[in-house]
């Protein structure tokens, strides 16, 4: 979740999200050598003096999973997280149509979507770990929108 | 006797099975599915024809889906009649299955006009995998095709055919393609993009007759338009719409209008009998009435809600609406709700149109509540608007921002953002 009052709008969450989803996982290589570099799965919305980061909330009744035409968007049986299988994605944008957070993006390839995977394999997602003012906080249970 | 019997094996049934199993891990479920395939994504059949999707990629759930969910799947079997008083379904071999709860999820079937020559070899409909297989088998480089109908399916199949190397013309009865979901501006943008990619579009015309070859009149050689113009072709694809597959319900005590009528819990008028998907007439949250909405996401949601209710978890169906996400030759388009207005009185329309970049954003409001949106080009925040529409939110305070280029959650007043999007502390 995001504590709106302490977000300073620095955009480091976006930077570290890009790095974590890059091939090299190295900030300099990701920005200098990887073309196109991956999209950030978190975005900072700003309307000075207010700002906050937005990413997938891993809804309990995820509208994106209901809307998915191919079966690519799914709830992981073990973790309960909303995950996306790029191999199955047909790029129909139905998930984008219904995500309350606008947290699903068209990949740089233009063929599939990308979204937050909570940094599979990391204990703490990169955006949270690198938030300098602890505005982004990782919590197991937060209130979310529902499709039903 | 099966506690849950589901007629149909597509997304409505899948949604229902998953929902039932969340509540009732053991109750017996029987699915009667006429189609002889594993669960596949119907909206992907166009990608299958174009070669962009394989059968493997089209699988909507894995091959063990029925087994994993302890479903007795009667695949390739057809339900012939329903006896509501006796509470059983009669199958194609005369066998009966008694049900505790029944879900009718039989879907829709392609509407075929009575055009002369419609039975010829080379005429196809296009909604399921069998059609797609047949069409694909017929396709070779340089084939010439006429697609009758410029709706969602017609334009998809036209794109697939062009990508397979065919020469394609869409014949649309009304004045523009996609006329049910796009206004003139958006329709023209799409028409321009598909035309530039090689699809010819003829509007305001119908196919009056399908011609046969001089050597073998059973094989398609062309079509004649209502204005007398002849177009040679070897393939005709009929894509003028789908109609609910209501045969099981008609003639019983079930209330049927165009589709089987269901309430906000996906219940029909008969106790323990539910319906969902293309066969059902269910609630539309924009039109605030029941209507046919033959769309995959709507069928999935309806099936899920039906399943939850069948298994005893009372769940209100939030409703669907006309909602389409499209991508024709790479151009993203999203259109939801009432975007084509027959009368403008009482509606307010906000527009941002930048022709150079194929960018178009239109929001339709009534009494400061959004009832429709069309986004072309920049679509990534569509879901935020969808969520506001679905919740019938009064947007007066931030109306101006809705069509701004970077509209986002930040434009929504904090108290509303907190209440509706669960954001903030």
Nearest CA in chain A to B411: A47
Q: B280-284 and B323-328: which strand pairing? A: unpaired
Instruction: Read off the pLDDT of each residue in B81-105 and give the average, rounded to a whole number.
Output: 98
Facing B44 at nearest CB: one of A43, A70, A105: A70
Q: Identify whether B207 is preceded by a cis peptide bond (ω within 30 of 0).
A: no
Q: Which residue of B has its CA nearest to A44?
A: B410
- Chain A to chain B Cβ contacts (< 8 Å): 135
From chain A, the residues in CB contact with B49 under 8 A are none
Instruction: Provide the pLDDT confidence category of residue B116 given band limits of 50, 70 and 90.
Output: very high
All residues of chain A having their beta carbon less than 8 Å from the beta carbon of residue B296 are 67, 69, 94
Q: Rounded to a whole number, what is the distance in Å from the CA of B57 to chain A's nearest CA? A: 6
The fraction of chain B above a pLDDT of 90, given in percent, is 91
The closest alpha carbon to B336, from A102, A36, A114, A98, belongs to: A98
Is B123 found in the same domain as B32? no
How far A40 CA lies from chain B's nearest CA (Å)?
13
The pLDDT of residue B9 is above 60: yes
List chain B residues with CB under 8 Å of A102. 380-384, 408-409
Give B196-205 pLDDT, tens digit per residue: 999 999 999 9
Low-confidence ranges of chain A (pLDDT < 50): none
Q: B95 and B150 in one domain?
A: no
- CATH number for position B361: 3.30.390.30
Residue B244: strand, helix, or coil: strand
Q: What is the pLDDT of residues B229-245, one digit of tens each?
A: 999 999 999 999 999 99
Asked if residue A11 lies in contact with residue A44, where contact means CB atoms within 8 angstroms, the answer is: yes
What CATH number is attached to the domain comprising B226?
3.50.50.60
Best residue in A96, A106, A144 for a mutation probing chain B (most B CBs within 10 Å): A96
Residues B65 and B154 placed together within one structural domain of the fold = no
Taking residues B93-109, report their average pLDDT: 97
SS3 content of chain B, % helix, strand, coil (to 5): 25, 30, 40
pLDDT, residue B344, reads 73
- Quote the pLDDT of residue B36: 86
**B208 and B127 in one domain?**
yes
Burial B143-156 (b: 16+ CB within 10 A, else e): bbbbbbbbbbbbbb
The answer to whether the CB atoms of A96 and B379 lie below 8 A apart is: yes
Per DSSP, what are the bridge partners of residue B210?
B223
CA distance B281 to B259: 5
Residue B290 has pLDDT above 80, yes or no: yes
Q: Tell me the shortest Cα–Cα distance from B20 to chain A, in angstroms.
A: 15
- Chain B: residue whose CA lies nearest to A145: B421
Tell me if A66 and B325 make a contact (CB, 8 A cut-off).
no
Contact B13, B105 (CB under 8 A): yes
Spell out the residues 6+ positions from residue A118 whose beta carbon is closer than 8 angstroms to its own: A56, A58, A81, A125, A138
Backbone angle region of B114, left / alpha / beta, with phi > 0 → left and psi within -120 to 50 → alpha: alpha
Q: What is the pTM of this model?
A: 0.95
Chain A residue nearest residue B10, CA to CA: A69
Structure confidence by residue, pLDDT tens digits, B165-185: 999 999 999 999 999 999 999
B425 pLDDT higher than 80? no
Q: Is residue B318 part of a domain?
A: no
Q: What is the CA B55 to chain-centroid distance, rounded?
A: 20
pLDDT band at residue B28 under the 50/70/90 scheme: very high
- The CA distance from B279 to B294, in Å, is 8
Among the listed residues A75, A86, A104, the one whose alpha carbon sits nearest the alpha carbon of residue B304:
A75
Of B32, B26, B27, residue with least CA distance to B13: B32
Residue A48: predicted pLDDT: 86
Cβ <8 Å between A90 and B53? yes
- Given a cut of 90, is residue B342 above it in pLDDT? no
pLDDT bucket at B422, cuts 50 / 70 / 90: confident
pLDDT tens for each residue of B62-73: 999 999 999 999
| pLDDT reading at B223 higher than 90 | yes
What is the DSSP pairing of strand B242-244 with strand B108-110?
antiparallel
Count how many domains chain B has: 3
d(CA B144, CA B230): 13
Domain identity same for B42 and B188 = no
B121 and B56 in one domain?
A: no
Of B297, B404, B288, the C-alpha closest to B337 is B288
- Give mean pLDDT, residues B100-105: 98
Tell me the pairing of strands B79-83 and B144-148.
Answer: unpaired
Are β-strands A82-84 and A105-106 bridged in parallel, bridged antiparallel, or unpaired? unpaired
Q: A94–B380: do the CB atoms touch at under 8 Å? A: no
A141-145, B269-273, B376-380: which has the minimum mean pLDDT?
A141-145
What ipTM does this complex have? 0.95
Residue B386 is part of which domain span? 330-421
Q: Which residue has better confidence, B342 or B19?
A: B19
Residue B315, domain member (yes or no): no
Distance CA(B299)–CA(B164), nearest Å, equals 30
Same domain, B176 and B118: yes
- pLDDT value of position B343: 75
Kindly state whether residues B224 and B272 are assigned to the same domain. no
Residue B422 to residue A102, Cβ atoms within 8 A? no
Quick one: how far is CA B12 from the chain centroid?
A: 12
Q: What is the DSSP string of B173-239?
A: SSSSTTTTT--HHHHHHHHHHHHHTTEEEEES--EEEEEE-SS-TTBEEEEEETTS-EEE-SEEEE-
Residues of A in contact with B402 (CB under 8 A): none
CATH class of A58-115: alpha beta
Instruction: Name the pLDDT band for B341 (thresholds 50, 70, 90).
Output: confident
B379: nearest CB among A93, A103, A148: A93
**Between chains, do A69 and B43 touch, taking CB under 8 Å as contact?**
yes
Q: Which residue does chain B place closest to A72, by CA atoms?
A: B60
Q: Let me know: does B102 contact B273? Beta carbons within 8 Å.
A: yes
Last residue of a domain, one of B264, B282, B310: B310
Residues of chain A with CATH 3.30.70.20: 58-115
């Amino acid at each position: 979740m995001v504590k709106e009052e302490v977000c300073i709008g620095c955009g480091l969450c976006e930077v570290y999200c890009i790095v974590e989803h890059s091939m090299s996982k190295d900030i300099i290589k990701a920005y200098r050598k990887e073309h196109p570099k991956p999209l950030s799965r978190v975005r900072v919305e700003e309307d000075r003096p207010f700002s906050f980061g937005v990413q997938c909330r891993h809804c309990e009744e995820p509208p994106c999973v209901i809307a998915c035409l191919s079966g690519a968007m799914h709830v992981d049986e073990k973790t309960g997280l909303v995950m996306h299988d790029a191999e199955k994605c047909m790029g129909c944008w139905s998930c984008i149509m219904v995500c309350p957070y606008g947290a699903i993006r068209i990949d740089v390839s233009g063929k599939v979507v990308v979204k937050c995977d909570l940094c599979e394999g990391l204990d703490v997602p990169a955006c949270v770990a690198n938030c300098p003012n602890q505005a982004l906080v990782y919590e197991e249970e937060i209130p979310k929108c529902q499709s039903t | 006797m099966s506690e849950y019997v589901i007629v149909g094996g597509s997304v409505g049934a899948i949604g229902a099975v998953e929902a039932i199993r969340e509540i009732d891990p053991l109750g017996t479920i029987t699915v009667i599915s006429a189609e002889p395939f594993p669960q596949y994504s119907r909206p992907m059949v166009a990608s299958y024809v174009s070669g962009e999707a394989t059968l493997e990629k089209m699988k909507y759930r894995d091959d063990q889906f029925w087994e994993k969910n302890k479903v007795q799947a009667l695949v390739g079997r057809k339900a012939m009649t329903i006896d509501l008083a006796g509470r059983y379904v009669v199958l194609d071999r005369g066998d009966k299955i008694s049900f505790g709860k029944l879900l009718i999820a039989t879907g829709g079937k392609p509407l075929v006009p009575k055009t002369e020559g419609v039975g010829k070899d080379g005429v196809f409909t296009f909604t399921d995998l069998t059609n797609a297989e047949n069409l694909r088998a017929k396709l070779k480089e340089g084939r010439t095709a006429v697609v009758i109908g410029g709706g969602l399916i017609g334009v998809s199949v036209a794109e697939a055919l062009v990508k397979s190397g065919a020469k394609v013309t869409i014949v649309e009865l009304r004045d523009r393609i996609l006329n049910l979901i796009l206004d003139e501006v958006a329709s023209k943008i799409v028409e321009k993009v598909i035309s530039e990619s090689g699809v010819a579009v003829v509007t305001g015309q119908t196919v009056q007759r399908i011609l046969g070859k001089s050597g073998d009149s059973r094989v398609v050689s062309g079509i004649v338009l209502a204005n007398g113009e002849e177009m040679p072709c070897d393939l005709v694809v009929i894509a003028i719409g789908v109609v609910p597959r209501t045969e099981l319900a008609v003639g019983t005590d079930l209330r049927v209008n165009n589709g089987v009528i269901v309430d906000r819990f996906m219940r029909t008028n008969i106790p323990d009998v539910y319906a969902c998907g293309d066969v059902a007439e269910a609630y539309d949250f924009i039109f605030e009435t029941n209507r046919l909405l033959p769309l995959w996401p709507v069928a999935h949601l309806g099936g899920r809600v039906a399943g939850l209710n069948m298994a005893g978890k009372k769940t209100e169906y939030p409703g669907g609406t006309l909602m389409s996400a499209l991508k024709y030759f790479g151009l993203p388009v999203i259109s939801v709700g009432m975007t084509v207005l027959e009368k403008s009185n009482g509606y307010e329309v906000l527009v941002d149109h930048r022709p150079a970049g194929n960018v178009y954003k239109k929001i339709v409001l009534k009494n400061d509540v959004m009832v429709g949106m069309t986004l072309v080009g920049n679509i990534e925040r569509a879901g935020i608007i969808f969520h506001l529409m679905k919740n019938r939110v009064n947007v007066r305070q931030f109306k101006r921002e809705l069509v701004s280029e970077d509209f986002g959650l930040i434009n929504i007043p904090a108290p509303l953002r907190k209440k509706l999007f669960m954001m903030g502390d």
